[in-house]
Chain A
Amino acid sequence: MIEFKLPSLGADMDKGKLLEWRVKPGDPVKRGDIVAVVDTSKVAVDVEIWNDGTVYQLIAQPGVTIPVGTVIATLLAPGETVEAAEAERRSRPSPPAEAVAAEAAPVAAAAAPAVAAGERRRVSPVARRRAAELGVDAETVAGTGPHGSVTLEDVERAAAAAKAAPAVPADVQAEKQAEMRRAIAAAMSRSKREIPHYYLSELVPLQAATDWLAAENAKRSLTERLLMASLFLKAVALACVKYPDMNGLYREGRFEPGASVHVGVAVSLRQGGLIAPAIHEAAKKTLTQLMRDLTDLVKRTRAGSLRSSEMSDPTITVTNLGDQGVDAVFGVIYPPQVALVGFGRVEERPCVIEGGLRIIPAVTASLAADHRVSDGHRGALFLAEIRRLMQQPETL
């Protein structure tokens, strides 16, 4: 029998609220299938399963808040029989369900008074997304769909009603904000406490990249156009391949280099707060593919429909605060990662080139990295590699 535990969806998550199951006992599942939706303090996440098998028991109840690492479901491994699974379950000292139940009641009761504690509340995915956009707590909306499920119309009606009487949802929104702020604070405090950061910066000339991008975008339709950010992501990913000590996770006293480069992209939420989900295998993707992924990721982050692997997988993070107008950004590493690359504003600056003064577009790239894993010398080489790659945009 395979135990499926609630995964950590980032360093700032120690518990999550199960919103709904997307599978039922008896369903066959494959690795990567979405089996549940879990609300972190930041966003609702589609949780993927990590094994092939058949769903046996759903242990956690929707509406319940659960600590990370709790067994929330069990699966039969391929070829395993129910009898074998039952025998294995009986031989275990303590049934995992009790741990879940202990955490259960208050949250469910407070959130959805119309539904008995622990009872499953059905909210269609489209309604949930719309609710996230409108700032409505889908769990508190009265459902008029089949079996009392919450439909898109219910959410929109609730949002309209909320506008007429803003007091309660403002509180919900403020509490959600406060919770997200606490989660970010906890992760960043941990980072500053545990990670001996060092910081470097490098001015990266962008004349070649700007010219190449203008020529390339002139050939492309509006929907296929590239942003400079996609070049930055690719350059960072390729530099990670060459300098693997910037790419990976530091856990239990040792560094595990990433097998692939999954670049976390810091996405600010309009209502405040920040999420940095991953673009998988960034070093292997074309700029067109990276740009599509980036557009999609930003859209889904803001709509609240991320996948668990995107939340838990990043091996390095890139932040691009230059759009908001700063010269440079010196970031706080997102644990257990070991490096963060920041890009400031792309701007025309005076540069000395071959003995002459020229005005060219340039950006300040910065690196925050972990001294437990690398030294400033390696960091400098890594930034120099990013600078070098940005001079050859056609090779990205």
Chain B
Amino acid sequence: MTDDEIRAIVFQTLKTIAPELEESDLQPDRLLRDQVDLDSMDWLNFLVALHQRLKVEIPEADYRKLTTLNTVVAYLASKGV
């Protein structure tokens, strides 16, 4: 999967959690949680949805790597999705 394909899936997944989100509002290198209203339950649901869609395991210890849209895409790419 290309980075652009992963990015599209990440964005779609995020939008299921935060339907008010527009792609143009999201700066890919800024902290997601500063730009999108996500509580810890939303965040967990976001990761669970990515896990189910992309069949990728995301250990809790890796959460700190997942801060921006870019880092989430890079992390998933490194997992070989």
Residues of A within 8 A of B47 (CB): 222
Give the nearest-CB partner of A294 in chain B: B41
Residues of B within 8 A of A229 (CB): 40-41
Docked CA distance A56–B70 (Å): 61
Q: Is the CB of A228 within 8 A of B44?
A: no
Select which of A133, A227, A270 is within 8 A of B44 by beta carbon: A227
Q: Is the CB of B51 within 8 A of A222?
A: yes
CB interface residues, B 36-64, toward A, < 8 Å: 37, 39-41, 44-45, 47-48, 51-52, 57-61
- A84 interface contact, C-beta 8 A: no
Docked CA distance A375–B51 (Å): 48
Residues of B within 8 A of A91 (CB): none
Residues of A within 8 A of B20 (CB): 270
- B19 interface contact, C-beta 8 A: yes
Residues of B within 8 A of A189 (CB): none
- A295 interface contact, C-beta 8 A: yes
Docked CA distance A324–B38 (Å): 8
Select which of B19, B37, B51, B59 is within 8 A of A133 by beta carbon: B19
**B residues contacting the other copy or chain, number (CB 8 A):** 18
Q: Is the CB of A324 within 8 A of B41?
A: no
- A298 interface contact, C-beta 8 A: yes
Q: Is the CB of B41 within 8 A of A298?
A: yes
- A223 interface contact, C-beta 8 A: yes
- A114 interface contact, C-beta 8 A: no
Q: Is the CB of A295 within 8 A of B41?
A: yes
- B8 interface contact, C-beta 8 A: no
Per-position contact with B for A279-302: 1 when CB-CB < 8 Å, else 0? 000000000000000110011000
CB distance from B68 to the nearest CB of A (A): 18
Q: Is the CB of A270 within 8 A of B59?
A: no
Interface size class of A (residues with CB under 8 A): 20 to 34
- A218 interface contact, C-beta 8 A: yes
Residues of A within 8 A of B41 (CB): 227, 229, 294-295, 298, 323
- A217 interface contact, C-beta 8 A: yes
CB distance from A318 to the nearest CB of B (A): 13
Docked CA distance A133–B52 (Å): 21
Select which of B19, B45, B61 is within 8 A of A295 by beta carbon: B45
- B81 interface contact, C-beta 8 A: no
- B77 interface contact, C-beta 8 A: no
Give the nearest-CB partner of A297 in chain B: B41
Select which of B39, B40, B60 is within 8 A of A214 by beta carbon: B60
Residues of B within 8 A of A324 (CB): 37, 39
Per-position contact with B for A371-382: 1 when CB-CB < 8 Å, else 0? 000000000000
Q: Is the CB of A218 within 8 A of B61?
A: yes
CB interface residues, B 19-33, toward A, < 8 Å: 19-20
Residues of B within 8 A of A176 (CB): none
Known: A133-B19, A223-B48, A270-B19. A218 touches B40 (CB 8 A): no
Residues of B within 8 A of A294 (CB): 41
Residues of A within 8 A of B18 (CB): 270
CB distance from A129 to the nearest CB of B (A): 14
Q: Is the CB of A225 within 8 A of B19?
A: no
Known: A133-B19, A218-B59, A225-B60. A270 touches B48 (CB 8 A): no
> What are 11 A-B pairs with beta-carbon distances under 8 A?
A218-B59, A218-B60, A218-B61, A222-B48, A225-B60, A229-B40, A270-B19, A270-B20, A295-B45, A320-B39, A323-B39
Binding site for B on A (CB under 8 A): 133, 214, 217-218, 221-223, 225, 227-229, 268, 270, 294-295, 298-299, 320, 323-324
